[in-house]
Structure 1
Amino acid sequence: MGWMSHPGWVMVSFLTELLSTSSRGIAQGMENCANDTTIINALLKETYNKHYIPSHPTRVRVDMWVQEVTSVSELTQDFEIDLYINEFWEDPALVFSDMNPCKNNISFDDKVLQRLWIPNTCFINSKSAAIHESPFRNVFLMVFSNGTLWTNYRMKLTGPCDMRLKRFPFDKQRCYLTFESFNYNTGEVRMQWNAPYPVILLKNIELPDFKLINYSVIAVEQMYPAGWWDELTVAFVFQRRYGWYILQGYIPTMVTIVISWISFYLGPRAIPARTMLGVNSLLAMTFQFGNIIRNLPRVSYVKAIDVWMLSGMLFIFLSLLELAVVGFMSRNDGLPPRVKKRKRHEEDDEGFSWKSMQTSPHLELRQFWVDKRVNSLRNSSDVVPPPPIEEYTPMEMEAPYPHISKRREKKRWFSSIRKRWRSIEIRPETVDFYSAIFFPTAYMLFNISYWGFYLTNLSEYFDDEMAAEQAGETQETLFF
């Protein structure tokens, strides 16, 4: 047995004995430690008062884990979110480090939490809030040996959103949640965000029509009649996905406007077909506009989609006006030349049979009554020579009838304009030719200005400036 006296074997035997001795000591220590039931029964004895504030003030640290955002609604102006809310504070009455605990922290359910002092926090601006109960009430409580408490609630909330739809559908929406103690002011409980990560996203938040691009937190003191309260607010910024509106709104309306331009190439003789094309395009634009805005709140300001749709309707309406001009210019096309000439003379005469009234209305009226008198005398066989016609100066003739001279001047002015217009000789084909160039050019310039404004930060700057002005006016109104 000489090998047992080897120095290496002696070292192995020593380490084995040492480890066995330490393990026996740990086992004996575990057997003598206080379990969770013993500790909680010792802590929640009759001397513990759940209505007594642990310290003045008690500092409560808060952080939030965002699990999911299920919807953002423009009609109700709110959003639905699933989150975990965590609270940390210290209660000296729950220190159990001197009880030889088996663990440095103990986990409980909400039944034990109901027997402890809590800061009674809530989301004061939520429309609805509920703790998940699948399959049991999702409330977590952990008590540490140094008296620190950690509570965790898994909740589903509906919170408000500050909807600004002036840039719709290229807008960004901000939704808010405000967390505070409902019963205790700053003299009793101080609320603060837990550093360094007050809000943690458990996943990328993406919806079919929105994407969470940013969030921020702020802590402020709000005054109430009972004192000052700490308010912890988190703001979520959602950017709208406008791909659906491009496919379902912008591209169809653009195609409808282009279709309305086909009438420029049909010629002035296809008036019925061109009228049907323009009216159907206008009705299609109206239907598409109503289909989009029916899912939006009835706001009183102009949105980006309104500018697009109303401008498209204006282009179609102008094409219908162009059709009316072409129809008016080509109204005599297809008639025989003799009929055209007669109609032109009738337009020149303006249906007025007394052409001689333009020269001397007083003399013609006098001659009319003289001829009538002569005819009546001839019929009675009493031939009496007509009275001599007195000569009047132009001043005497026009003085009793000043309104006739003014009417004559107006008719001369209109006739001169009509002659100038006919001397130009603009054909309907020429109007269609220039319209086929002008309308696409104007619409292209409109598209450049529209997309350049709403897809850049320029529209956001104007929106923020107007919002700041409105907020300032509201504050002044409340102050006065």
Structure 2
Amino acid sequence: MDWNSRGLAWLFLHVIFRSCFGLTSIDAILDNTIKRIPTQNVTRPLNVRLGFYLEHIGNFKSAEMSFDVDMYAYMSWRDHRLRHKKADPVLVNDHDIRKKLWLPDLYFANAKEAKVHEVTSPNFNMFIERDGTIAYSCRFTMSISCNLKLQNYPMDVQMCGIRILSYAYIAKQMNVEWFDAAPIRANPDIQLPEFEITNITAKYCKGDYRYAVTNEGFKYDNFSCLVGKIYLSRNMGYNLIQSYIPTGLIVVISWVSFWIDRRAVPARVTLSFTTLVSLTTLGNGLRYGLPMVDYAKAIDLWYGACMIFVFLALLEFAMVNSIMRKSAKYEQMAKNMAASKEPEKSEQDGNWNRRTMRNFVKRKSIAPPNGSPAKGEKRSKSITPKSPDASRKRYDSSELDELREDELEISDDDAKMWTKAVQRESPNHLTGLLVEPKEKDEQSKDAQNAHAVNRSVAEQAYATMSATFSRRAFHLDQTCRYLFPGTFLIFALVYWIYFLYHQKYAAMEEQLRD
């Protein structure tokens, strides 16, 4: 046999030996394993390492309290049954082969939906080292539930966690831990329209659960529980432009009512109701897309304050309008009193002249020849007022009280103001008009003039009350021109300082300490 034949023979034997005794293919590796946990018959648990790479975060749904995440999961564990002698790691990327291998049964506790990417092929790979250490990676997209705390919305800081546990194996059987170095990483190009990622941490959580539940009882033990915490800070730009600035401008527009003439009722009514309706419509849009929580949010406080300011502006207009209606009422009464004063005085003068003439003729016809007083004359003297009290009582009941009750039309609320106005216009009207006359002719003349003079006093008092109410409405408008902007400015400063600085950074510090 020549040397060439010997070489071929040795090569053939080497190939046969490697094929029979060497693990040169994945099929040969699979012959040494079955689909069960590698440490099933060992007292110590299987250690599984875990890590994430967040490719994309988005689609935050505040109403549903959820967000979507596209991520890669990295897992590593050791399966002594998959040891081999190849120099390089064995790559497994066939779905059928993966089904034959044991994989950690990890699940995401707060995931609503999840799907594995399979375009253009199943997105996973598995590398098996010589000592049986496995590096497994896969890609999937999930919808994660996140319990939002919206007390400080839209200046809130949120923490959304991704919780991972073992479904079947307790911690004594399979212990899941984070990778030591950078267990959670994120794509630096992630840009969220509403939030800004401030921090990402890898933490552990409590995994005490019941399992093996039957009608007779259950078991209770600890499962490995990991949580990846994503801290988010909400951006203010959108809400500032869409919510705060429009509502603030509506409040400012409502103040224009204070500069409109207090007699221009249609203009002020239109402005007040328009601002109120506009703010109500805008407020309905503010609550759109937010969950119906049972507590007030920061934006609700702002909206409520704006609504109060607009409503108070409307209430101020109602007060001014009520005051101006009283002013117009007494102004018209003063005009009516002035118009009726002169004709009534002329009519009273005619009645007095006719009554005086009849009395004169009567006395002449019954006078006795000797000039002694007649019986009728005595009767006439007997009805002549003898005391000042009698004359005052007569005029009070016949003239002044009749004018006040039937013609003055003074409400109970304005009685004090009426009294002050009358005293200011005619301080002596109660005494100067009701002095006992010395003679009968003077008494009759005073009686006929009492009504006319009282109407003059009433006319001036009405005019005074009208001017007083008008000035009161003007002063109310003038005060509100400075009171409303000043109060709103103070509220805005306190609001923004409290929520934008104190609450926001206090919440961030509290969450970062977790």
Instruction: Give a deviation string over 1:53-76, Cα, whole Å, max 9, x none.
Output: 245311000000100012111111
1:229 aligns with one of 223, 243, 246 = 223
1:57 equivalent in structure 2? 45
1:270 equivalent in structure 2? 264
How many residue pairs match? The answer is 367
Q: Contact between 1:33 and 1:102, CA under 8 Å: does it hold in 2?
A: no
CA distance in 2 between partners of 1:139 and 1:444 (Å): 59
Going from structure 1 to structure 2, the CA distance change for 1:343 and 1:283 (only over 3 Å counts) comes to farther
Instruction: Give a deviation string over 1:2-52, Cα, whole Å, max 9, x none.
Output: xxxxxxxxxxxxxxxxxxxxxxxxxxx99x999x9933122111x422224
1:160 equivalent in structure 2? 145
2:486 equivalent in structure 1? 441
Determine helix, strand or coil for the equivalent of 2:193: coil
- Which is worse superposed, 412-421 or 48-57? 412-421
1:42 equivalent in structure 2? 28
Query: Are positions 1:77 and 2:65 aligned together?
Result: yes
- Which is worse superposed, 134-143 or 109-118? 109-118
CA distance in 1 between partners of 2:174 and 2:507 (Å): 41
2:357 equivalent in structure 1? none
1:127 equivalent in structure 2? 112
Going from structure 1 to structure 2, the CA distance change for 1:343 and 1:113 (only over 3 Å counts) comes to farther
1:298 aligns with one of 292, 309, 316 = 292
1:190 aligns with one of 175, 188, 191 = 175
Query: Are positions 1:199 and 2:184 aligned together?
Result: yes
**Residue type of the partner of 2:238?**
W
Going from structure 1 to structure 2, the CA distance change for 1:194 and 1:298 (only over 3 Å counts) comes to same
1:291: Cα distance to partner?
0.9
2:399 equivalent in structure 1? none
Question: TM-score, structure 2 length as denominator?
Answer: 0.65
2:405 equivalent in structure 1? none
1:363 equivalent in structure 2? none
Where in structure 2 are the equivalents of 1:222-261 lying within 5 Å? Answer: 222-226=207-211, 227-261=221-255
1:304: Cα distance to partner?
0.9
Going from structure 1 to structure 2, the CA distance change for 1:44 and 1:414 (only over 3 Å counts) comes to same
Determine helix, strand or coil for the equivalent of 1:80: strand
Determine helix, strand or coil for the equivalent of 1:284: helix
Going from structure 1 to structure 2, the CA distance change for 1:201 and 1:288 (only over 3 Å counts) comes to same
2:197 equivalent in structure 1? 212
1:427 equivalent in structure 2? 472
2:277 aligns with one of 283, 294, 304 = 283
Going from structure 1 to structure 2, the CA distance change for 1:326 and 1:52 (only over 3 Å counts) comes to closer
Q: Contact between 2:38 and 2:81, CA under 8 Å: does it hold in 1?
A: no
Query: Are positions 1:113 and 2:113 aligned together?
Result: no
1:82: Cα distance to partner?
0.3
Determine helix, strand or coil for the equivalent of 2:207: strand
2:443 equivalent in structure 1? none
Instruction: Provide structure 1 residue ranges, at least 5 long, that are not aligned to the other structure.
Output: 1-28, 345-410, 466-480
CA distance in 1 between partners of 2:175 and 2:418 (Å): 86
1:362 equivalent in structure 2? none
**Residue type of the partner of 1:62?**
L
**Residue type of the partner of 1:173?**
Q
2:325 equivalent in structure 1? 331
1:66 equivalent in structure 2? 54
Instruction: Provide structure 2 residue ranges, at least 5 long, that are not aligned to the other structure.
Output: 1-13, 212-220, 339-410, 422-464
Q: Contact between 2:250 and 2:275, CA under 8 Å: does it hold in 1?
A: yes
Instruction: Give a deviation string over 1:167-215, Cα, whole Å, max 9, x none.
Output: 1111122211111221111121110000111101122432111222112
Determine helix, strand or coil for the equivalent of 2:318: helix
CA distance in 2 between partners of 1:33 and 1:450 (Å): 79
CA distance in 2 between partners of 1:459 and 1:419 (Å): 60
CA distance in 1 between partners of 2:337 and 2:232 (Å): 68
Determine helix, strand or coil for the equivalent of 1:68: strand
Going from structure 1 to structure 2, the CA distance change for 1:169 and 1:52 (only over 3 Å counts) comes to closer
2:498 equivalent in structure 1? 453
Determine helix, strand or coil for the equivalent of 1:152: strand
Instruction: Give a deviation string over 1:249-306, Cα, whole Å, max 9, x none.
Output: 1111111111111111111111110111010000010011001102111111111111
Q: Contact between 1:332 and 1:340, CA under 8 Å: does it hold in 2?
A: no
